[in-house]
Amino acid sequence: MSGFAGVGGAFIVTPALIVLGFPANLAVGTSMAWITGNSIIGMLRHRKIGNVDMKFGIIMIIAAMGGTEAGVRIFNSMNRSGNADSVVLIIAVCLLTIVGSYTLIEAIRRKKHLDRILAEGGTLPPPMSTTAFSTKVQGINLPPIIHFKKSGVTISVWIVVIIGFAIGMLAGIMGVGGGFIMVPSLVYVVGMPSFMAVGTPLFQMIFSSSYGFIRHTMSGNVIIMAAFIMLIASSIGVQFGAITTRYVRGVSVRYILGISIITFAIGSALKLCGVLIDGAGWAETASQIITFGGLGLTVIMILSLLIVAIRYKRGNKIPSWMYSFVSKSPE
């Protein structure tokens, strides 16, 4: 998922570790340790295929570092009060539901538009680089205004700083890199092309998550061995995810990302029920089934898309509804 959608994957890992029984502080800190190594692997792969805007990423890094420090301080305060488990899960459920729903609805709408063009025998449009909202955001004349040549975006630096700080704070509180919010933000708010919005967050996450990892280690919130085991496995998976982006349109990234986020929101909600309601053992079991079933579903969707895309590129026939996902003119 990290290599394919530009998310660190911690929005899955943190709730999943809590579902497995890790205390919230260890789930958050261990997730942050894992995401540091995972982001390095993913960024190197995406930089190789030209999906990283280094200039944009550097500004995000500076802003996110400040946000991460604020987030870690807030989390340590919650942990001392004994409310960390429920608060982290509540934040996760709310954010995952909002971001996942918006991303999936937009992707469904975009796919229907592309399918209609294909059905009428038309030519698919160029990559979607701006939305109506991002056009308005780019029009905010608040100096300094910076042009990012790699992404083709001209925007006030303060917009980038605000997004970076907010995502950094989220990282410190939840032990996530913030990619599941950053990718939609870069696409819908900033107006960055989809694949550039996939690679650039991974570059930013290397530094913000490293800082968060160090701070959580200082607070005793990290199990290094667990993070190391997950990193070995993810180093293989991220390669398949990154390769898949070379064969698909951006709408497929947003489609699968939306489905995955909503699935994990449901799993987190069920775990929250288990935490808040005495005797709700059924919720604990259901949360494990949904969470890890969602992981399996994500893997199946990405690998299936890769197989279909390669067949299409070789000239083989594929289902007609897949054409808008795997067009040779990537979005």
User: Cα separation of 305 and 302, whole Å?
Assistant: 5
Q: What local confidence, expressed as pLDDT, does residue 329 receive? A: 45
pLDDT value, residue 127:
56
Distance CA 330, CA 246 (A): 8
What does the alpha-carbon distance between residue 66 and residue 50 come to, in Å, rounded to a whole number? 28
Please count the helices (runs of H) and the strands (runs of E) in the chain: 12, 2
**Alpha-carbon distance values, 242 to 43, 248, 283 (Å):** 9, 11, 35
Residue 82 dihedral angles phi and psi, to the nearest 5°? 80, 15
Tell me, what amino acid is at 255? Y
In-domain check, residue 296: yes
For residue 330, what pLDDT is reported? 44
In a domain, 161, yes or no: yes
Q: What distance in Å separates the CA atoms of residue 155 and residue 93, rounded to the nearest whole number?
A: 31
Q: Is residue 331 part of a domain?
A: no
Cα dihedral sign, 43-46-50-52: negative
Distance CA 247, CA 307 (A): 10
Q: Tell me the whole-structure pTM to 2 decimals.
A: 0.67
pLDDT at residue 305, rounded to an integer: 86
Alpha-carbon torsion angle 199, 204, 206, 208, nearest 10: -150
Structure tokens at 301: 């969707």
Angstrom distance (rounded) from CA 251 to CA 124 = 12
In a domain, 330, yes or no: no
Helix (H) or strand (E) holding 329: none
Instruction: Please state, in angstroms and rounded to a whole number, the distance separating the CA atoms of residues 64 and 119.
Output: 44
CA distance 287 to 20: 10
78: DSSP letter: H
Q: Is residue 14 part of a domain?
A: yes
pLDDT truncated to tens, each residue of the chain (331 aa)?
A: 777 765 656 667 777 787 778 887 888 788 888 878 877 877 777 777 777 888 888 888 888 888 878 887 887 777 777 766 677 778 778 877 888 888 888 888 888 888 888 777 766 665 555 666 777 888 888 788 888 887 788 888 898 888 888 888 877 776 665 666 777 778 878 888 767 777 787 787 777 778 778 888 888 888 888 888 888 888 788 777 777 877 787 788 888 888 888 888 888 788 778 777 776 678 878 888 887 888 888 888 888 888 888 888 888 888 878 887 876 544 4
Instruction: Supply the pLDDT for residue 125.
Output: 63
Domains in the chain: how many in total? 1
Domain assignment of residue 247, yes or no:
yes
| pLDDT at 98 (0 to 100) | 85
Q: What is the pLDDT of residue 319?
A: 83
User: Per the structure block, which two tokens stand in for 158?
Assistant: 């303060």
Range of the domain at 177: 2-322
pLDDT value of residue 246:
77
> Would residue 327 count as lying in a domain?
no
Q: Report CA dihedral (97, 211, 160, 100) to the nearest 10 degrees.
A: -10
Rounded Cα gap, residues 66 and 83, in angstroms: 24
**Alpha helices, DSSP H only, in 49-83?**
54-81
Domain contains 329: no
Closest to 97 (Cα-Cα) out of 289, 256, 267, 251: 267
